[in-house]
Amino acid sequence: MKYEQLAKDIIENVGGKENVHSVVHCITRLRFKLKDESKANTEVLKNMDGVVTVRQSGGQYQVVIGNHVPDVYKAVVAEGSFEGNGSVEDGGEKENLLNRFIDMIAGIFTPILGVLAASGMIKGFNALFVAIGWLDTEGGTYQILNAIGDGLFYFLPILLGYTAMKKFGGTPFLGMVIAMALVYPALEGIPASAEPLYTLFTGTLFESPVYIEFFGIPVILMTYSMSVIPIILSTFVAAKLENFLAKVIPSVIKTFFVPMFTLLIIVPLTFIVIGPIATWASQLIGTTTLWVYELSPIIAGAFVGGFWLVFVMFGLHWGIVPIGINNVVTQGWDPILALIFVHSFALVGAIAAVWIKTRNKKTKGLSAPALISALFGVTEPGMYGIALPLKTPFIYTIISSAIGGAMLGYFGSVAHVMGGLGIFQTPSFIPPEGIDMSVIGAILAALVGTVLAFVLTYFFGGINKNESRTNEEATQSVAATTAPIVKNEVICSPFNGTVKKLTDIADSAFSSGALGQGVAMEPAEGKLFSPVSGTISALFPTNHAIGITSEEGAEILIHIGMDTVQLDGKYFTNHTEQGSRVERGQLLIEFDAQAIKEAGYLLTTPVVVTNQDNYELITLSEQEVKAQDLLFELKVK
C-alpha cells in the first residue's frame, strides 16, 4: 500500500490504536477523537513527511494531510483495524429524497458492479451462442455457462444482504443469513408441491393462497430469488433492530444473543409483512397496466415502456410478467410484455453516450460491459452502475423507453412467443403469417429509442460537458468584472463578500500556506458559486468543503468557515456531486450563514490553489467583491 508506512507512523504518534476512539476524515485532514490527547507526539507528527501540520480543536485531534487524505485515511483504517469505529459517515442533510435514495442504491450496488457486469455478459453471450446455433440448451456447455451467468442474479439477495446491511450500519453477515432464508429452496418450492391451507382476501385484488403458518399467523409465500427490494427493506429494519439490541443486551452474552434475536424477529417479519406488501404492489401494477392498455395501447406503451426499469428496480415487474405469460398461453399473443422491448435499447444508447463522453476511468471501464449486457437484455449493470448514479442518463432512458413503448402500441406490436430480452426478443414479434408492419414497427421503435437516448444523454446529460470558450468569450467574461483583462488564468470570486489575506485565518493549516496559496473571504450571503469551469474533484458529505479542478488544471479548494465540519452538514445544501461538470458562475452550495454564526462558527473561508507549485499567484488587495468578479490570477511558472 502506498501510504502504509505513513499510516503506521501516524497511528504510533497519536498514542497507538488503543488510544483512538474514532477517526474520520474531511477534505484535507484526518480527524481523530483520542482517549488521551496528551499521549500524542504532536511535534513529531508536524515534522513528519506527508503531514502538513496538526491542529487540536473542538475535541478533535486533526492531522492535516492535504488532497490525498482519502488514500491516507484508508491506509490508517486498514493499519489500525478501525473498520467499525473509523468509517466515514455521511453527515448532514441531503438535497432531497431522490438524492438520498440514489446515494443508498449506489452504496448498496457499487461493491458488486464488476461481478454484476461480468455475469450479465456471460449470460448474454450464452444466449447469443444458442441463437446462432453454436450451443444447444440441452448441452453441458450451455448449462455450465448458464449457471455462471445466472447464478449471481438468482442469488442476488444474498449479495445485497451483505452490502445493504453494511450500508445501513449493521453486521453484513447477518444480512446474508436473512437473504439465505428468503431463497431457501424448501420454502420456495412449497407452492408447487402442496395444496393451500386456505386463501386470504378471496375475490379481491389481493387474493393470496396460504400454504404455511408461523405460530398461527398466515404466511404469503413469494419468490425472492432475483429480487431486490425485499432484502433491502429487511436489512434496513434489521440494522436498526441489531443496534437497539446491542445496547440493551448485556455485553457478556451479546455476541450470540444479538444476532439470534435479530434473525428470529426479522426473517418472520419479512415473510409475513414485507413479502405480501411487495406481492400486492406487483399485482396492483399488473392490473393497472391491463386497464390502461384497454383504454389506449399508445398510453399503455408509454407507461410500461417508460417505467419498466423502475418496476424492475423495485421488483414490481413480477406483477406484469405472469399476465404476459398467461396471455400467450390462452390467446397465442401478448401485448403487455411486448411494450418493454425498447427499454434495454434505450439504456444501450444512454450508456454509449456516457462511454464516449466520460473522462472518468472507472465509469468508462464499467460502460463497455454494461452496454453489452443491456444489448442482451440484462439491464442491472447499466442501470445500477451507470444510469442511476449519474441521474440524467436514467431520466433520458425512461423518456426514450416511453416514446419507444408508445410506438410499439401504435404499430400494434405484440409477442407471439415468450422469447428472450434485448436483441433476442426481436423474433418473438414475428407472427405465424410472417413479417408484417408490427414487426417492422418494433424494430423502428428500438432504433428510435437507442438514438434518442444517445442524443439526449450526449448533448444534455451533463457528462463531462465540453465547453469550448473562445478567447473572445473569455475576454468578454473578464471584461464583465471590475478587474482588468488579463491573459493569465482567472479565478473568479465564489461569493459576494470581502477579500482578506490568507494569513488572517485562524487555522494555521491554511494561514501558513501549507494547503495552498490563495485568499480568505468573508461571505456576505449563503451562496457559493463555481469560480471556474471544470470538474468537481472533491465534495465532502457534510457539504462544507469542495474541490474543483479547472479546465486548465488548477486545483481549487474552498472550505466554508472554520471547523464547520462539526456541524455534520447542518445548514448546508449542495447542488452538485463529485465528478460532475460545472460551469463558471454555477450555484454549487447554499448555506445558512446566520445560523452557522449563531452556532458559534466563523464563516471566514479560504479559497486556495492546492497545486500551487505550478503557479505564481497574483492576488487582489483587501476589498469587497461580487460573485464572478476577479478574485486572483494564476500565472503558470
Question: What is d(CA 369, CA 362) in angstroms, rounded to the nearest whole number?
Answer: 12
Res 270 pLDDT > 90: yes
Res 64 pLDDT > 50: yes
Res 481 pLDDT > 50: no
Tens of pLDDT, residues 321-333? 667 765 665 567 7
What sign results for the dihedral spanned by CA atoms 434, 436, 442, 448?
positive
* Segment among 72-76, 312-316, 382-386 with least mean pLDDT: 312-316
Res 608 pLDDT > 50: yes
Check residue 110 and give its pLDDT: 65
Please say if 492 is a catalytic residue. no
Check residue 581 and give its pLDDT: 86
Query: What Rg value do the Cα atoms of the chain yield, rounded?
Result: 29
* Matching residue, cell 406481492: 279
Tens of pLDDT, residues 493-540? 999 999 988 888 877 778 877 788 889 999 999 999 999 988 898 888
| Catalytic entry in 26, 317, 343, 416 | 26
Check residue 377 and give its pLDDT: 81
Give Cα 458 distance to the centre of its chain: 20
Check residue 476 and give its pLDDT: 42
565 near 33, Cβ under 8 Å?
no
623 near 498, Cβ under 8 Å?
yes
Among candidate residues 48, 77, 78, 74, the one with its CA nearest the CA of residue 63: 48
Tens of pLDDT, residues 554-605? 889 999 998 888 888 889 998 888 888 888 889 999 999 998 988 888 899 9
Res 284 pLDDT > 80: no
* Residue 40 neighbours by CB under 8 Å, 6+ apart: 13, 14, 15, 19, 34, 61
Helix (H, G, I), strand (E, B) or coil at 4: helix
pLDDT category at 219 given cuts 50, 70, 90 is very high
Burial of residue 331 (number of CB atoms within 10 Å: 0-12, 13-18, 19+): exposed
Pairing between β-strand 605-609 and β-strand 517-523 as defined by DSSP bridges: antiparallel
Report which of residues 462 and 236 the model is more confident about: 236
Region of residue 7 (phi > 0: left; psi between -120 and 50: alpha; otherwise: beta): alpha
526 near 591, Cβ under 8 Å?
yes
| Catalytic entry in 25, 343, 544, 559 | 559
What residue ranges define each of the domains in the chain, with the CATH number in brackets?
4-80 (3.30.1360.60), 97-143+296-301+323-466 (no CATH), 155-288 (no CATH), 471-636 (2.70.70.10)
Give Cα 14 distance to the centre of its chain: 34
Tens of pLDDT, residues 112-132? 766 776 776 677 677 768 777
Question: What is d(CA 623, CA 242) in angstroms, rounded to the nearest whole number?
Answer: 55
Q: C-alpha distances in angstroms, 6 versus 61, 66, 73, 463?
A: 17, 13, 10, 36
Tens of pLDDT, residues 3-42? 888 999 999 999 998 888 888 776 678 888 888 888 899 8
pLDDT category at 478 given cuts 50, 70, 90 is very low
304 near 321, Cβ under 8 Å?
no
